[in-house]
Structure 1
Amino acid sequence: MGKILVTGGLGFIGSHTVVELQSSGYDVVIIDDLSNSSIDVLDGISSITGKKPEFVKLDLKDKPKVEDFFKTHSAIKGVIHFAASKAVGESVQEPLKYYENNISTLVYILKELQKLPSASFIFSSSCTVYGQADTLPITENAPVKKAESPYGNTKQIGEEIISDTCNVSKNLKAISLRYFNPIGAHESAKIGELPIGVPQNLVPFITQTAIGIREQLSVFGNDYPTPDGTCIRDYIHVVDLAKAHVIALERLLKNDNKSNYETFNLGTGKGSSVLEVIESFERVSEKKLNYKIVGRREGDIISAYADTKKANEELGWKAQLNLDDALRSAWKWEQTIRE
């Protein structure tokens, strides 16, 4: 079936995608620099699938090493590109780190793919490209607004670079998958989200608070124009998200794509408020959460949830797992790693 390169394959979404690729019969090679992940994840993947993927520790900012990698891995049929810095707050403080890490690495990979007879490329994009959308739910035709952060801007610029490259590279086909909010963990609890330091995302902060690592969860604002005053997001189970990557890749490998460059939203199509997420967690875990309403956080948009019609109809993909499922798996994962 050909070898698939997964960059950032030991990260949260990357590791779950590697599992789904291997389960679908693909040979996988992972590149990761381990700057925001752990080599132990490799064992987690192997214990789920029964097969250890090839692993190469490599900093994709090192252009000569990227070139060398592709010289020695000429059988690669497709690339799923996750490797990137991803903390919104940090990107505001260190913009050049984000532009170097997220943009230069993308350029180096695309340069190598241009040299191949044919290549399929899946880009890990984000609903942050839409900003605060004018209408909800958000379709792929919603305008891409000025980014709220350097991180968000790297996703917008990344999409533009891929689109421009596909326009002139007839051998290259690409899909950008615009995720909404990935949460949860594999049902085996052998892989999951492993934030380094203080979590930037809601769900790991919830689970770390519930297990006693964090004293209290801060809910940023309860005065937004939403039913309960807290921000609304579209939370998608990471396993559903991972499966979408395999389907999108197969679309390109089978030449089912309608153009050389396509975009798809990946979400559940349902928005959940911060307080609804807390209520769901308390229900599935049977634990009361210590949380406090505090002031709004700069840069937070009010509401974002996906119109998933395009992905449902054209990819034949639909989210199967709900919020309770995702939070139950996240809690099981948190308990497992603290044992």
Structure 2
Amino acid sequence: MALIASHVIFALQETRRFKVISIDNHHNSHPKSLQRVAQIARDALPPNASEQDKESTVIDAWTCDLRNREQVRNVFEHYGKDGIWGVIHIAAYKAVGESSEIPLTYYENNVGATISLLQIMSEYDCTRIVYSSSATVYGTPPVIPIPETTRMKADSPYGKTKVMDETIIEDVCSAEPTRWSALSLRYFNPAGAHPSGLIGEDPLGRPMNLLPLLSHMAIGLVKDSKLQVFGQDYPTPDGTCVRDYLHVVDLAKGHLLALDALGPDSHVFDTCPTNARFKAYNLGKGHGMSVLEMVDAMRKATGFDYKYEVIGRRHGDVPELVADPTLARKELGFNAPQDLVTMCRDLWNWQTKNPKGYGGPDEVLPAGATPTLHQL
């Protein structure tokens, strides 16, 4: 269970209104994260918790691959037609640089699996979806901060898979406007971890994203003597790329708001230009930080003296990606109040408590405290 998914599950469990079903092939995640999420949810229960409250902390976890149609169909069959109210689709490969090296793998996984999932959802009358998109759909944007009306022109295969998926989902909503409704959440740059330090990012192999890489360097998991900075000749204040970072806990709460907005009393689709019940929202803070500013923030959080060297630009990177989050604030009630200091502090708290990620010794779970698992 990767960083964003585990925090989204907790955001859902925290309300005690949802029964969470997880589908994961654990390609870049660890099953132990589900145990940790369930523990956090249990610990948050009030003394007078009802049976429904307690049941909301139990995750139905299915180990299967979204690309395997029969495995996914078995999950939906278990709950029956109309047995699953809605889907939050987060599963995807997500590294910009890697996507340029193995594009076919990205198209097969990110686009092919989405098509298969939508077909099975339709078969079982599950026609509400919150889709995990990305700011990379905008490519090099003509205006900063970026509104949702900006044309989509992704520069990397990863970004293009997100454009394709959004297009497919919108087409499905257009084809059957009385059945389907969908919200696409265009993430900017999630960072941090749950303040408990129980769940956080534990990437497979070398981290592909900046903050986890800096965290791994500080804890000693990455032995590089210097950080490689991809280009310092961009039209930004210090020449390095600028990104809009938001705390993963704030991002997770955005998914809860989006799921609620698919409900029968929602008015978010009232302003759609067509009868298709599809809309996209930026999830970001609305201001950016450069690579070197992020390095400095992590230096202060960890005490580690990062050294860096500037190398050539990386294919697919764009100079600046900063959200205009006005629409999400207005229509979803989304807010991202936690600041950069908190993001770096919570990330470092997770890393120091779990120096080997989920693969290290587990001393935080009481004996036998595991959620119900349904293995295929």
Cα offset, 1:118, TM superposition: 5.6
Q: TM-score, normalised by structure 1?
A: 0.93
1:113·1:172 contact (CA, 8 Å) conserved in 2? no
Q: Map 1:132-171 to 2 at 5 A.
A: 132-145=140-153, 147-169=154-176, 170-171=178-179
Correspondence for 2:302? 285
Matched, 1:204 2:204: no
Q: Deviations over 1:28-54 (max 9, x none)?
A: 010001111111111111111112311
Cα offset, 1:117, TM superposition: 4.6
Correspondence for 2:338? 321
Correspondence for 1:3? none
Distance 2:302 2:74 in 1: 48
Q: Give the alignment partner of residue 73 of structure 1, picking from 71, 79, 95.
A: 79
Unaligned 5+ residue runs, structure 2?
43-56, 357-376
Correspondence for 2:33? 41
Query: RMSD between aligned alpha carbons?
Result: 1.5
* More contact order relative to length (CA 8 Å, sep ≥ 6): 2
Distance 1:287 1:89 in 2: 26
Aligned pairs, how many? 329
Q: TM-score, normalised by structure 2?
A: 0.84
- 1:49 partner letter: A
Secondary structure of 2:132's counterpart equals strand
Q: Map 1:295-314 to 2 at 5 A.
A: 295-314=312-331
Q: Deviations over 1:277-305 (max 9, x none)?
A: 11212223333223233332222111110
Matched, 1:31 2:41: no
Identity within the alignment, %: 42
Distance 2:23 2:206 in 1: 25
Q: Map 1:81-160 to 2 at 5 A.
A: 81-117=89-125, 119-145=127-153, 147-160=154-167
2:96·2:317 contact (CA, 8 Å) conserved in 1? no
Distance 2:7 2:126 in 1: 26
Q: Give the alignment partner of residue 15 of structure 1, picking from 6, 29, 44.
A: 6
Unaligned 5+ residue runs, structure 1?
1-9
Matched, 1:229 2:239: yes
Q: Deviations over 1:174-193 (max 9, x none)?
A: 00000011111111111111
Correspondence for 2:186? 178
State which drifts further: 30-39 or 246-255: 246-255
Cα offset, 1:119, TM superposition: 2.8
Correspondence for 1:7? none
Distance 1:72 1:335 in 2: 40
Correspondence for 1:241? 251
Secondary structure of 2:349's counterpart equals helix
2:107·2:161 contact (CA, 8 Å) conserved in 1? yes
Distance 1:33 1:264 in 2: 28
| Larger gyration radius, structure 1 or structure 2 | 2
Q: Deviations over 1:97-116 (max 9, x none)?
A: 11111112111221122234
Correspondence for 1:59? 65
Distance 2:239 2:137 in 1: 24
